[in-house]
Amino acid sequence: MEYFELYNGVRIPAVGTGTNTFGRDDEDLKSVPTGNFKPMYTALEAGYELFDTAISYGNEEGIGECLKTVAPDRSKLFILGKIPNRAPYNCDRDSIRKSVGDSMKNLNIEYFDLFLIHQPVDYKAAAEGKSMDVETTVNLYRALEELYREGVLRAIGVANFNEDQLTVLMNEVETVPMANQFRSNPAARNRPLVEFCKENKILPIAHSPMNFTAGAFRVDEVKAADYRKIAGMVGSRYGKSWAQVLLRYNYQLGICSIPKSHIYEFQKQNLDIFDFELSRGDMECLY
Ligand SMILES: NC(=O)c1ccc[n+]([C@@H]2O[C@H](COP(=O)([O-])OP(=O)(O)OC[C@H]3O[C@@H](n4cnc5c(N)ncnc54)[C@H](OP(=O)(O)O)[C@@H]3O)[C@@H](O)[C@H]2O)c1
């Protein structure tokens, strides 16, 4: 495993695993959970240290059960959590502290290695065209700062914030976010945001590193196949798959990635990206 370092000195694995559909048998976050946590067990077996969790994935208890059963050395794990920026979680200091406490209890952990505000604005407000409820978001972040100072959260940050939203937040709070998690893949490179984060010592974390057919910048399957083909052609020069090439691309740009697979072979493959280096020409070809 290779690591990046957050600006407060906390080391974070350069690749972790997403968990959003663990406990389900499909990719639909709204489907009824089946309780199938086999991918969580195989991810632990494959050697993952970083687990990207969130209250809104609705599967923390199942993940916590796996952690309790396997009981890996906690100091070798990196548990990332997220709080939704909406009621009933973000209402006030008490509800925020309760949400973080409940989340840790469900996951069977006593601290988070990194904890993020899941989005700058709740979905309903976003649908109404609102960018960010500054007061609510700042209060939410300040409550996380308090938990950071208490040592319950080893690091804090945000997810899905753009440059303007980060700027507004940074002007209001003491602690610059240590990380920002956002979509970063060939369909949505978000390179200006990556650069902005780096200029401010904020670690970019790529969610959906190979999921091109979802989210705001989604493309159709034909275009997605095209991205896979280009990355696959590059990969053939190194004996690597298209997925490994995309993860390596992020790594070389200083971006942490949290790919998710339900398949053990793919889980292992996604960790196996540290024994080759993409040439400058290949990096350009992948942009
Ligand atoms: N902060 C946020 O708002 C946010 C939003 C979205 C996601 N996330 C986080 O980011 C994680 C990853 O995002 P994601 O699940 O949307 O997308 P992703 O990890 O980019 O892609 C997942 C898809 O890629 C397939 N896959 C994985 N590894 C592969 C490989 N080596 N070869 C071929 N196919 C492979 C998976 O299928 P199989 O399972 O069949 O392998 C799955 O269909 C999530 O689990 C979640 O934790 C965060």
Convert the pLDDT of each residue in 198-225 to its tens digit.
999 999 999 999 998 887 778 888 999 9
* Range in 17-31, 77-91, 143-157 the model is least confident about: 17-31
Q: Which residues contact 279 (CB under 8 A, 6 or more apart)?
A: none
Q: What does the angle CA 137 – CA 140 – CA 142 come to, to the nearest 5 degrees?
A: 110
Above pLDDT 70, what percent of the chain?
Answer: 100
Would you say the CB of residue 207 lies under 6 angstroms from ligand 1? yes
Q: At what angle do helices 264-271 and 38-46 cross, to 10 degrees?
A: 40
* Range in 30-44, 212-226, 247-261 the model is least confident about: 212-226
Residue 123, pLDDT above cutoff 80: no
Distance (Å, rounded) from C-alpha 125 to C-alpha 122?
Answer: 5
Section 247-265 average pLDDT: 97
Nearest-CA neighbor of 64 among 24, 91, 102? 102
Would you say the CB of residue 18 lies under 6 angstroms from ligand 1? yes
Would you say the CB of residue 243 lies under 6 angstroms from ligand 1? yes
φ/ψ (deg, to 5) at 153:
-115, 120
Which of 261, 262, 267, 269 should be mutated for ligand 1, with most atoms under 8 A from CB?
Answer: 261
Q: Which band of pLDDT confidence, cut at 50, 70 and 90, is reported for residue 49? A: very high
Residue 36, pLDDT above cutoff 80: yes
Catalytic residue (one of 3, 41, 57, 249): 57
Omega before 88 cis (within 30°)? yes
Tell me what pLDDT residue 30 has: 82
Tell me what pLDDT residue 187 has: 87
Tell me what pLDDT residue 26 has: 82
Section 10-17 average pLDDT: 98
Tell me what pLDDT residue 124 has: 74
The answer to whether the beta carbons of residues 184 and 190 sit under 8 Å apart is yes
Which of 158, 207, 272 should be mutated for ligand 1, with most atoms under 8 A from CB?
Answer: 207
Tell me what pLDDT residue 201 has: 98
The hierarchical CATH code for the domain 3-286 is 3.20.20.100
Burial class of residue 115 (count of CB atoms within 10 Å of its CB; 0-12, 13-18, 19+): buried
Q: Which band of pLDDT confidence, cut at 50, 70 and 90, is reported for residue 122? A: confident
The answer to whether the beta carbons of residues 176 and 7 sit under 8 Å apart is yes
Would you say the CB of residue 211 lies under 6 angstroms from ligand 1? yes
Q: What is the mean pLDDT of the chain?
A: 95
Q: Which band of pLDDT confidence, cut at 50, 70 and 90, is reported for residue 74? A: very high
Convert the pLDDT of each residue in 92-109 to its tens digit.
999 999 999 999 999 999
Section 153-160 average pLDDT: 98
Q: Which band of pLDDT confidence, cut at 50, 70 and 90, is reported for residue 127? A: confident
Tell me what pLDDT residue 28 has: 82
Residue 126, pLDDT above cutoff 80: no
At 223, list the tokens: 């275009």
Tell me what pLDDT residue 270 has: 98
Residue 129, pLDDT above cutoff 80: no
Tell me what pLDDT residue 143 has: 98
102 DSSP 8-state letter: H
The answer to whether the beta carbons of residues 162 and 193 sit under 8 Å apart is yes
HSE value, Cβ hemisphere, 13 Å, CA-based, for 202: 30
φ/ψ (deg, to 5) at 22:
-65, 135
Tell me what pLDDT residue 29 has: 83
Residue 251, pLDDT above cutoff 80: yes
Neighbours of 98 (CB within 10 A): 14
**Helix (H, G, I), strand (E, B), or coil: what is residue 118?**
coil
**Helix (H, G, I), strand (E, B), or coil: what is residue 109?**
coil
Query: Which atom of ligand 1 lies at the shortest distance from residue 116's CA?
Result: 1
Would you say the CB of residue 258 lies under 6 angstroms from ligand 1? yes
DSSP line for 142-207: HHHHHHHHHTSBS-EEEES--HHHHHHHHHH-SS--SEEEEE-BTTB--HHHHHHHHHTTPEEEEE
Distance (Å, rounded) from C-alpha 144 to C-alpha 196?
Answer: 23
The answer to whether the beta carbons of residues 31 and 41 sit under 8 Å apart is no
Q: Where are the beta strands (DSSP E) in 32-155?
A: 50-52, 78-83, 114-117
